[in-house]
Amino acid sequence: MRARLLRSGPLQLVLLIAVFLGLYFTIPAVEGNPFWRLPHLIAGWPEKINNAVSYLMFEWLPIDIYDPEIDDYEASPLLKEVTRGLSTGVLFSIDALRELLLGGVKTIAAFVGWDYARAHPDLVWPALPWTIVAAGATLLGYALKGKWLAALAAFATVYIAVFGQWEPAMETLSLVLIAAPICFALGLLLGVAAFRSRRVEAVLTPLLNVAQTMPHFSYLVPVMVMFGVGDHAGAIATIIFATPPMVRLTILGLKKVPLEVIEAAMMSGCTDRQLMRKVMIPAARRDILIGVNQMIMQCLALAVIASFIGAKGLGYNLLLALNQLRIGQALELGVCIVLIAVVLDRLSLAWANKATNYFADQSFVFRHKYSLIFAGIFVGGIALAALGGLIFGDGINYFYMIPHNKGITTENFWQSGVDWMVENWYQGLQGFNRGLITQVLIPMKTAFLGMPVMATFVLTMGIGYIVGGVRSALTVALLLLFIALTDWWDRALITAYMATFAVIVSVIIGFSAGVLSAHSDRASKVVLLLCDTFQTFPSFIYLIPVIMLFGVTDTSVLIAVIIYATIPATRYTVEGLRSVPVALQDLGLMSGANWFQRFSSIELPLALPHIMLGINQTVIFALFMVIIGAMIGTDDLGQYILKALSDKNGIGNGLMLGLCVAFMGLAVDHVIQTWARKQRALLGLV
Amino acid sequence: MLKYLNTTLGAAAIALSLGGAAFAQDSAEPIIIPTHNWSSQVVMAYVIGGIFESIGDKVEYVPADSQAVYEAIRNGDITISHEVWQSTFGASFYNAMAKGGIIDVGNHDASTLEELGVPRYVIEQNLCPGLPAWEALKECAAVFATADSEGKGRILEGPQSWHGDLMPDRIKALGLDDKYVVKFAGSADAIWAELASAKKEGRGIITFNWTPNFTDAEGFDFIQFPVYTDGCRIADGGDGSCGSPLGWMKKAANYKFPKTHPAAYTIFSKLSFTTTQIGQMAALVDIDKLSHEDAAKKWLAENEAVWMPWTK
């Protein structure tokens, strides 16, 4: 009896909290007391990492390279030459695509040399008139899916052109169109490799975990040192950021392929290669396509961050607009980013779902219908551009290319909206702001900072133990130990306090919104669309109005974090509740359960594992955004990550700080995943 | 081969005719100029690019973070930087220089001031009598209080990466620390947003700011702290109770630049803008709402007398 009592979760939790509080109030806050704060044993690691990377990049295996520019040999380390070679390749591809869309001379110069290009200033590749790209995208939408996708593509391209954002949008697009296929190929290859070999999976899983939880700011400096500054660096950072979901969902999809399907394929005499290409991947397409969707969203979510290390396009212009506090302009740019994301996502989805008709015997004209129409569009577009040249004369040829920021704009409308908001709301919000800060945030921060390291470990390991036994307790302990041994533990506690507050609020909002909308098809569709939009809509834009209303305070940071972290909480609640089998709901209905009973005893328990995964994502989103909150002004790990951009030990500091944030996320991730897995097993959902 | 030779000669001839002088052996590879996220810097990038193009050189612009750019120059990914502010970027610049690969190409005429101050209306409306003398601050902490300052006055400082604990140390050394707290903003944008919001409300705000920039046009007054003397800062052995000195604004380049583009390098080393000129460039964008490229074209067209001599 006693033994069973001790094994009951809630009781263990109560005991644990009692022990935690006991330790919290008895351990004295004295520097040097290892129960209060652990010694900073690995505080020297950033410098070591830094020296190691510098050695590899700038000293190791020097080879003599002839530099025609200074007419001399220069010793250059091997690794640097390799990474720079890679950069040149990526940059060339991006530039080639970009100049196809916008015109230019770099691609030509790459073949004939800059001297020749300078001698022949007329040798410039002309830009493709925007009308051709817009009509082409519309046609593609029609060909792949039908009139609705065509309408979406037409709306997006015309919006971008008419609002005068064509050039930056095509710059961003050319980067994404190079980065996304690389992510796709890399993701699929790694996913298949991990599926085939347990060893590869064992190596890949922790790497994926870290890559998905590490804030992007922390690998900007390493990417910049290794690959340089420019669109190629932006593309490489994008690839690091966007590939993990693709890998993960590929593995997931392949694992879900029923054994019967595989056996049937084996019996038909499939080779290994055929099995993968013709059976496994098509059978796993649903999950792989979710991976593609996530990947494309991630690619565009990084558009702004990538401009820190040289990516041209919408993201950079958005930062410029924000620095001038031109929120309206930033908003229009943000909408362009979202539109590109949505159109690319829908187009790739439609392409992947397009059925091939193997039996049709079609005439040449029918088979090449769309190519022929496009040829017509091409000629028509050029004719239109030429006509425009006549109409507009020396002015701007709107039929050829609408220059940056020379289109129509709704900037003034948004700007006056923001002004109105500040003028009318500021005073009223001050009471709320002061109350929140003095009554909630400051006490909460103090409580987190006053937590002895011993108490933290007992609490977190205890939760790990209750959920997943000794294994989980040790995993959590190791992850946190890494942070505790750096000299950033206090900073990490501040990050933890902000993330905790934001997660609590986000989950409450997201869960309520999800529950309210899950019962209606239309409402859930709208909510999921909103989730997609806000996931790619650059969070930098709402930082500014939030600062205007709440000042450079933790309130501002937390509001920005909550806006962003509510997305996964909502999305997973909707998805979880909607995936409850209809048969079970009917069963409840038949047994005469009312709405609330059905919800609380059927739908919620069944959906809870999935909802918990949403909370898991909420934690990770919150951590990401707390770090971006450093742009407003915080004193947590994020402040140091931003600082790493200019540090002497920037690479080491950035990476180590990034790992600290990642490990916090992973500790939570581990506990929640373990819980959800067990819960699913209990419910027979696996 | 002969054809190639011809084209090379042709290139040289064109460069000569455009350059007009004897130094025309610049490489045809583009000079890479970084653009950051504030107006004067971006316009000046296009102005300098325009000057280089006028002697037949190719130019390319690459967006880059203003702190991380020095590492990129050192590695040769970016050729020059034309706005190295002493107190915000001095540390990054010298860190990169210590690692090798970046050279100092001299100072602009413009001297910079990076200091705490208040928007002009704070003085005009006499929100804190006695400003801009720093002693006035003792009496009006409440005017500058914010939601999170717990009744004290709040001083908004730039990101901590700019000059560490300089301002908290100064406030303490001046004995203002029981009346004021220093809050680090995360970015310049955060400072501008607070300034704009304060202006709409007409409320008091003390913030770190610098000149020349676009706030000059709207009126911004720096607080007069005790005069800076050598060694007065804590880092230099003093007690820290002094204001900021007038600072320099440097130009920097990759070490290969003088050899690959001698003509452009010569221009770049002669080139020097005054505070007024930098203010003009920023105003064309911030006040007249021109695009950065158009602003640069306009400035170049109107100021040939200023920049033409550098190319001679």
- Give the mean pLDDT of A202-206: 91
Q: Has residue A303 got a pLDDT over 50?
A: yes
Q: Of B39, B34, B86, which Cα lies nearest the Cα of B65?
A: B34
Q: Of A633, A624, A540, A88, which Cα lies nearest the Cα of A314?
A: A540
pLDDT averaged over 10-residue windows placed end to end, chain B, 312 residues: 41 43 70 90 96 93 90 91 89 89 94 92 93 92 90 91 87 94 92 92 92 84 92 86 91 95 95 91 86 94 95 88
Q: In angstroms, what separates the C-alpha of A443 from chain B's closest C-alpha? A: 12
> A119 and B42 in contact by Cβ < 8 A?
no
- Which residues have CB under 8 Å from A556's CB, separation 6+? A543, A546, A547, A549, A550, A629, A632
> B148 and A554 in contact by Cβ < 8 A?
yes
> B28 and A115 in contact by Cβ < 8 A?
yes
Q: What is the pLDDT of residue B6?
A: 43
What burial class does residue B176 get, using C-beta atoms within 10 Å of its C-beta: 0-12 exposed, 13-18 middle, 19+ buried? Answer: buried
Q: What is the pLDDT of residue B8?
A: 43
Flag the least confident range among A202-206, A396-400, A522-526, B301-305.
A396-400
Q: Cis omega before residue A206 (within 30°)?
A: no
The H or E element spanning position B209 is: strand B206-211
**B147 vs A426: CA distance, rounded Å:** 12
Bridging pattern class, strands B153-157 and B180-184: parallel
Per-position b or e across A532-548, b if 16+ CB within 10 A of its CB: bbbbbbbbbbbbbbbbb
Under a CB-based contact definition with an 8 Å cutoff, are residues A128 and A99 in contact?
no
**A309 vs A237: CA distance, rounded Å:** 9
Domains in chain B and their CATH numbers?
Answer: 26-110+248-311 (3.40.190.10), 112-246 (3.40.190.100)
Q: Has residue A586 got a pLDDT over 90?
A: no
Residue B161: its chain A contacts at CB < 8 A?
642-643, 645-647
Under a CB-based contact definition with an 8 Å cutoff, are residues B65 and A308 in contact?
yes
Residue A629: its chain B contacts at CB < 8 A?
186
Nearest to A547 among B71, B150, B193 (CB): B193
- Give the mean pLDDT of A26-46: 90
Give residue A1's pLDDT band: very low, low, confident or very high (50, 70, 90): very low
Distances (CA, A) of A427 to A4, B198, B201: 57, 11, 9
Residue A316: its chain B contacts at CB < 8 A?
35, 37, 63
Bridging pattern class, strands B249-254 and B102-107: antiparallel
Residue A319: its chain B contacts at CB < 8 A?
37
Rounded to 5 degrees, φ, ψ at A310 are 110, 5
- Give the mean pLDDT of A667-674: 93
* Mean of pLDDT over chain A: 89
Residue B75: its chain A contacts at CB < 8 A?
225, 228
Listing DSSP states for A443-507 in one string gives: HHHHHHHT--HHHHHHHHHHHHHHHHHHHHHHHHHHHHHHHHHSTTHHHHHHHHHHHHHHHHHHH
Under a CB-based contact definition with an 8 Å cutoff, are residues B81 and B252 in contact?
yes
Under a CB-based contact definition with an 8 Å cutoff, are residues B107 and A259 in contact?
no
Listing DSSP states for A83-141 in one string gives: HHHHHHHHHHHHHHHHHHHH-BSHHHHHHH-HHHHHH-TT--BPPPPHHHHHHHHHHHH
Distances (CA, A) of B139 to A408, B202, B221: 50, 19, 18
Q: How many Cβ pairs closer than 8 A exist between chain A and B? A: 201
The answer to whether the Cα torsion of A68, A74, A75, A76 is positive or negative is negative
Residue A433: its chain B contacts at CB < 8 A?
147
Number of C-alpha atoms within 13 angstroms, CB side, residue A331? 16
> A633 and B42 in contact by Cβ < 8 A?
no
To 10 degrees, what angle do helices A314-323 and A327-353 make? 160
The CATH number of the domain covering residues in A167-351: 1.10.3720.10
Residue B185: its chain A contacts at CB < 8 A?
552, 632-633
Give alpha helix (H) positions in B55-143: 69-74, 86-99, 120-124
Higher pLDDT, A588 or A142: A142
Candidates A229, A308, A541, partner chain B, best to mutate (most B CBs within 10 A):
A229
Q: What is the pLDDT of residue A369?
A: 84
ipTM: 0.86
Residue B231 C-alpha from the chain's centroid: 24
**Pair of tokens at residue B195:** 């300034």
Q: Has residue A5 got a pLDDT over 70?
A: no
- Which residues have CB under 8 Å from A649's CB, separation 6+? A46, A47, A50
> B160 and A639 in contact by Cβ < 8 A?
yes
Q: In angstroms, what separates the C-alpha of B170 from chain A's closest C-alpha? A: 20
Residue of A nearest to B101 (CA): A58
Bridge partners of A125, per DSSP, are: A104
Q: What is the pLDDT of residue A396?
A: 83
Residue B99: its chain A contacts at CB < 8 A?
54
Q: What is the pLDDT of residue B271?
A: 95
> A119 and B56 in contact by Cβ < 8 A?
no
> B190 and A547 in contact by Cβ < 8 A?
yes
Q: What is the pLDDT of residue B261?
A: 94
Residue B91: its chain A contacts at CB < 8 A?
646
- Give the mean pLDDT of A592-610: 85
Higher pLDDT, B19 or A572: A572
> B29 and A427 in contact by Cβ < 8 A?
no
> A552 and B77 in contact by Cβ < 8 A?
no
Residue A91: its chain B contacts at CB < 8 A?
none
CATH 3.20.20.110 correct for A424-450+489-683: no
Same fold, A167-351 and A424-450+489-683: yes
Q: Give A315-373 pLDDT, tens digit per residue.
A: 999 999 998 888 999 999 999 999 999 999 999 888 888 766 666 667 777 778 888 89
Distances (CA, A) of B263 to B28, B55, B87, B231, B257: 12, 8, 30, 40, 10
Q: Is A146 helix (H, G, I), strand (E, B) or coil?
A: coil
Q: In angstroms, what separates the C-alpha of A364 from chain B's closest C-alpha? A: 45
Q: In angstroms, what separates the C-alpha of A292 from chain B's closest C-alpha? A: 29
**Pair of tokens at residue A656:** 């180590």
Q: In angstroms, what separates the C-alpha of A416 from chain B's closest C-alpha? A: 12
What percent of chain A is modeled with pLDDT above 70? Answer: 97
What percent of chain A is modeled with pLDDT above 90? Answer: 51
Give residue A59's pLDDT band: very low, low, confident or very high (50, 70, 90): confident
> A419 and B200 in contact by Cβ < 8 A?
yes
**Pair of tokens at residue B300:** 């170049």
Nearest to A323 among B7, B72, B192 (CB): B192
Q: In angstroms, what separates the C-alpha of B17 from chain A's closest C-alpha? A: 12
> A324 and B187 in contact by Cβ < 8 A?
no
Q: What is the pLDDT of residue B21?
A: 42
| Residue spans per domain, chain A | 9-39+451-485, 49-119, 128-162+363-409, 167-351, 424-450+489-683
Q: In angstroms, what separates the C-alpha of B53 from chain A's closest C-alpha? A: 11
Candidates B4, B7, B87, partner chain A, best to mutate (most A CBs within 10 A):
B7
What burial class does residue B22 get, using C-beta atoms within 10 Å of its C-beta: 0-12 exposed, 13-18 middle, 19+ buried? Answer: exposed
